[in-house]
């Protein structure tokens, strides 16, 4: 039997609108959402708000869209220090992917992004934040019955999964 997507529970919130997706599977415990972020909002702030309201503490994120300001973060493994760089120009999100886990009782977002510039070159890395300028469409899957926490790892300087 083919899978069928049924859109239910469409809602509009201050920074975004979303709909819950149900598949035709007989057993499907994971909730999936399609989000459309409002123009000029912060991607990370909006995602954090959505995950907190929906109580999503384990899942995945994917998406695309357009931004005009983005701050990427790079971890220098030699120094274990983060280096942030902000780009203020119109760019297309060619890929946004990430995961959701839990740290200190709240959703922890780990998101990477690739964005194309006007000259068709791409930049990317760990997304600290970005501002929408146009549209941003995201898919969020909630692994409702799974726990994935985070804890600092002294060797790498990263917050790694803790199961």
Q: Tens digits of per-residue pLDDT, 69-94?
A: 999 999 898 898 899 999 999 999 99
Global pTM? 0.85
User: What is the average pLDDT score of the chain?
Assistant: 89
Tokens representing 45 are 């702030």
Domains of the chain: 6-162 (3.30.1330.80)
Structure confidence at residue 19 (pLDDT): 80
Structure confidence at residue 20 (pLDDT): 79
Neighbouring residues of 76: CB distance < 8 A, sequence distance ≥ 6: 82, 83
- Secondary-structure breakdown of the chain: helix, strand, coil percentages, each rounded to the nearest 5: 5, 65, 30
Whether residue 4 is predicted with pLDDT greater than 60 in this model: the reply is no
Nearest Cα neighbor of 98 from 67, 134, 68, 139 is 139
Structure confidence at residue 91 (pLDDT): 98
Structure confidence at residue 103 (pLDDT): 96
Q: Tens digits of per-residue pLDDT, 27-74?
A: 567 899 999 999 999 999 999 999 999 999 999 999 999 999 999 999
Neighbouring residues of 95: CB distance < 8 A, sequence distance ≥ 6: 62, 64, 113, 114, 124
pLDDT band at 10 (very low <50, low <70, confident <90, very high): low
């Amino acid at each position: 039997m083919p899978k069928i997507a049924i859109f239910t529970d469409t809602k509009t919130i201050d920074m975004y609108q979303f709909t819950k997706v149900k598949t035709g599977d007989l057993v499907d415990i994971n909730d999936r959402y399609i989000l459309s972020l409002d123009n000029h909002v912060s991607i990370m702030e909006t995602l954090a708000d959505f995950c907190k309201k929906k109580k999503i503490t384990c899942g995945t994120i994917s998406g695309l869209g357009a931004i005009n300001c983005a701050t990427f973060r790079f971890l220098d493994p030699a120094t274990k220090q983060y280096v942030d760089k902000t780009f203020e120009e119109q760019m297309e999100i060619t890929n946004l992917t990430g995961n959701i886990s839990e740290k200190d009782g709240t959703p922890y977002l780990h998101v990477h992004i690739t964005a194309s510039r006007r000259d068709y070159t791409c930049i990317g890395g760990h997304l600290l934040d970005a501002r929408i300028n146009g549209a941003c469409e995201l898919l969020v899957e909630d692994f409702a019955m799974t726990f994935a926490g985070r804890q600092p790892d002294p060797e790498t300087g990263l917050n790694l999964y803790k199961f």
